Chain A
Amino acid sequence: MFRLTPIRAAIAALVLAALAGWASFGGYLAREMVAEIAVLAILALALDLVAGFGGMVSLAHGAIMGVGAYGYALANQAGLPPWPAALVGMAAATLTGTAIGAVSARLTGVFFLMATLAFGQMIWALTFRADALGGDNGLGGIARPPLPFLDSGDPLVFALYALVLAAGCLAVCVAVLRSRFGQRFEAVHDNPDRAAALGIAPERIRAQGFAISSMIAGAAGVLAAQHMQFVSPELMVWTASGEVLVVLILGGIGSLSGAVIGAAGFVLLKYWAADWTDHWHLAIGALLIVVVLAGERGLSGLLEGRRDA
């Protein structure tokens, strides 16, 4: 069951603060990377909510995030100002997740994984084929949100704005898990038969958890669209979802702080390794296997020490 231990809170706060500091004193590239980390962290948080605490490992989260990004882009193109358009994007992602969750929630384990793979790929294929969505060229010219007294076009302002959003999503996840709903969500994962005997309907709870997670994934999509000012179907392919899963595993699944660390570590490694080798996925693959063999506690598990979570 989720416990926001002081060490977890400290780790997450420290990482976010370090990223803010880095964005402030680093150059243009640092600021772009921090924004990218924030997007990935939010998506990983969304996935951690369902996979880490509900046992629902989803390969549709990239697609759901993409729906959020496209929703924002289309609403914005239709003339809606950025903030209402962001709500449209999140609502679209939530609706998509609600639909996927409603039909997939009765499946478990690998079957659930396959179902989310199928739905995610359906969304990707539809987007890829739809001329109204720009096909595989995607959509460009997406606006960033206006901020009071600040210019969101400035990379530093945007990086900090993205970090604030990531921190906000982390707080939302903590609140969800601490709520009565969160307890039930974890209970249904822990022992569905007992939960049912207590009057808790496992499928409904799982579907609701998936919808909440999709809303957060939608927020990641909106932020991604604002950051790149461009959306393409690439966001939605299942390998994108698989990559987020890797981020989560490397960071440490089921701890929330692991999502943030994993995202930071992954993006940093990507840029750092890209400087001298084209084959950095080799290291990621090996690392993934090592972490899985070591018991899936990832970086955050390493930082927390060997205590029982």
Chain B
Amino acid sequence: MAVCIAVIAKENYPLYIRSVPTENELKFHYTVHTSLDVVDEKISAMGKALVDQRELYLGLLYPTEDYKVYGYVTNSKVKFVMVVDSSNTALRDNEIRSMFRKLHNSYTDIMCNPFYNPGDRIHSRAFDTMVNSMMMQVC
């Protein structure tokens, strides 16, 4: 389903990034990095409206030739970025939305783990398996 999933801290450094092993990892790092500018742009452009509606989903950030990049930002300004294969046209907006929600819930659980210090990189088996399941789903 997704080919790369990243969690970015408030200060724009990566907390977690994972991509399908078959592809060039660096390429996705680059894609995610580029998308952060679009995220910032979106937040500042419709920031007020987003806060009012409590809408966290940012929608499609930008499409490239092979991939589509979607974004989601929590109220604490933690960003989730998901890269999806463009050839997968069956993927609806709703599904992307629910995937982000799942990701958000999982992230919340990690934050509640007393052994996790906020701001550290995420090393969690539960999160790994959740992300894996999202990347495997419809491959």
Query: A and B: real partners?
Result: no
